[in-house]
Amino acid sequence: MTELIGLLTNKNMSDTKYASNTGIPLNALSSGTPGELITWGADTKVAAVAVGTAAQVLTSNGAGAAPTFQAAAAGGGLSWGDAISGSDGDEGIDIDINASATANTAGIGIAINNTQANQVYGMTMNLGTGAHATGLQIKGTGTADWPKVHLMLWGNTASNVSKILSIGNGTSYDERTWFKADGRVGICTDANAMGEQITALAVGMNDTRVANINRTADWVTIWQKAWNNAGTYIEDWDVVRIQRDSTTAGTATGTEAGALLKLVNTATETAGTLLDTTIALEIAHGVHADATDVYAIKITSDNSGTGNPGGIDFSSFTAGEPIFKFVADATDPTGAGGAATGRIACDIGGATVYLAYY
C-alpha cells in the first residue's frame, strides 16, 4: 500500500517497471492492511481509509474530506418492535407502486404462520378514545371503472368456509357480524339492555332528486339460481328466512309485539305535485309445475294459546274501501237468472268453487 501511495503521489508513471502496462497489476502493490481503502485526503494526496469495525459502514464526511468507517445511522430501517411517530399531515410510511400491466405487486406483504393456540394478527389499529379517528381509508383515484377493487377479501382455502371478515365489539372480542368466503353472512345483535333499540341490519339510500333525472334500481337484490342440464335434482330451501324465537322460563312473563316483516311507504306532498303509485308488496311468481297447484303466498298460522289463529287482518280498513282486487269474470255463478253479475274463483279443500259478486 505504501509503495502504491508513493507511486500515485509522485506520479512516477514513466518508470519502465510500469511503462508497458495499461494499469497497475495487483502483484505490483506492496502488502497492506486488510480492510483499508484508497482515497485522497484533504491535501489532495493519496491516502488510506482506516479499517473500520464490524457493522460499521463507509460514510461520507462531506466535500473536501476523506470518508471514514462509522456506525450506521439510526432510522435506516424498521426492526421488530420499532415505533413510528409523526405530526399532523405526515405519512408514516409512503408507498408508491408503479407496476406494469402483468405485474402482481403488493405494497405491503404480511405472511402469518401460527402454530400456537393464541390468535396472531397481521396488523392491529388502536384508534384510542379521541373523536374522528378512522382506522383505514381506501380512496379510489383516476378514471378507470374496472377492474379497480377497493378491498379484496380472498378466502383461499379448499372449502371456502373460513371467515374472511369478522366484526365484533367489547374489551374481550365479541363477534357480531361475519362473512364467509362461501357467501354466508351472520348478523347477531344483543338487546339485553332494558329499553334498548337494536337494528341488526340497516340499508339506506339518501336520494336527492335532480330535475329531469329518472332512476330505476333495486336497493337490495337477493338472487338464487338453480340450473341443471342432466340428471335429477331437488332443491327445497328458503332464499330468505326471517325468524324470531321467543321463550320464557321459570317465573318470567314476556310480551312480544311488533312485526317480523314491516313494509312502510310514506308519501308527503308539501309543495308541488306528488303522484305515488307505490305497491307495498309485489310478488311476481312465475313457475312451471305439472299437475300441481302453486300459490304465490302460503300462510301457516298456529296459535298455541287461547286465541284464534288468523291468516290476514284487514280490520284497519274503513268500510267501503276495497280489500282485494280480482280479475273480472262476468260469468253468473247462479246459473242464469240470479242477481250476481260475476264470480270469484276459490280453492276450498282442493276443489275450485266460486264466490258471487254483485
Full DSSP string of 29-47? SPP--TT-EEEE-TTSSEE
Is the pLDDT assigned to residue 157 strictly greater than 80?
Answer: no
Is the pLDDT assigned to residue 67 strictly greater than 80?
Answer: yes
Tell me the range of 8-17, 190-199, 215-224, 307-316 where mean pLDDT is highest: 307-316
Helix, strand or coil for residue 175? strand
The residue ranges of every structural domain in the chain are: 2-71, 155-183, 324-358
Alpha helices in the chain (DSSP H): 2-10
**Residues 287 and 269: beta-carbon distance below 8 Å:** no
Work out the average pLDDT over 214-240: 79
pLDDT bin (cut points 50, 70, 90) of residue 193 is very low
d(CA 149, CA 9): 64
Length in residues, the chain? 358
> Omega into 147 within 30° of 0, i.e. cis?
yes
Span of 20-34, 49-63, 68-82, 248-262 with lowest mean pLDDT = 20-34
pLDDT bin (cut points 50, 70, 90) of residue 58 is very high
What is the Cα gyration radius of the chain? 41
Q: What pLDDT is attached to residue 137?
A: 84
Contacts of 175 (CB under 8 A, 6+ apart): 166, 167, 168, 188
Q: What pLDDT is attached to residue 13?
A: 46
Span of 6-20, 179-193, 302-316 with lowest mean pLDDT = 6-20
d(CA 76, CA 78): 7
The partner residues of 347 in beta bridges, in order of sequence, read 352
Is the pLDDT assigned to residue 197 strictly greater than 60?
Answer: no
**Residues 53 and 72: beta-carbon distance below 8 Å:** no
Only one residue has cell 392491529, namely 124
Is the pLDDT assigned to residue 280 strictly greater than 70?
Answer: yes
Helix, strand, coil proportions of the chain in percent (round to 5)? 5, 15, 85
Is the pLDDT assigned to residue 149 strictly greater than 80?
Answer: no
Q: What pLDDT is attached to residue 51?
A: 92
Instruction: Give the phi and the psi of residue 179 in degrees, each rounded to 5.
Output: -125, 135
Cα 224–chain centre separation = 21
Work out the average pLDDT over 197-221: 67
Quick: pLDDT tens for 88-130.
766 777 777 776 666 677 778 888 888 888 888 888 888 888 7
Q: What pLDDT is attached to residue 158?
A: 66
What are the helix and strand counts (H, E) for the chain? Answer: 1, 9
Residue type, 221: T
Q: What pLDDT is attached to residue 97?
A: 75
Spell out where the chain has E strands.
37-40, 46-49, 56-59, 68-71, 163-169, 174-180, 185-187, 342-348, 351-357
∠ CA(311), CA(347), CA(241), 5° rounding?
A: 45
Is the pLDDT assigned to residue 163 strictly greater than 50?
Answer: yes
- pTM, 2 dp: 0.52
Contacts of 199 (CB under 8 A, 6+ apart): 189
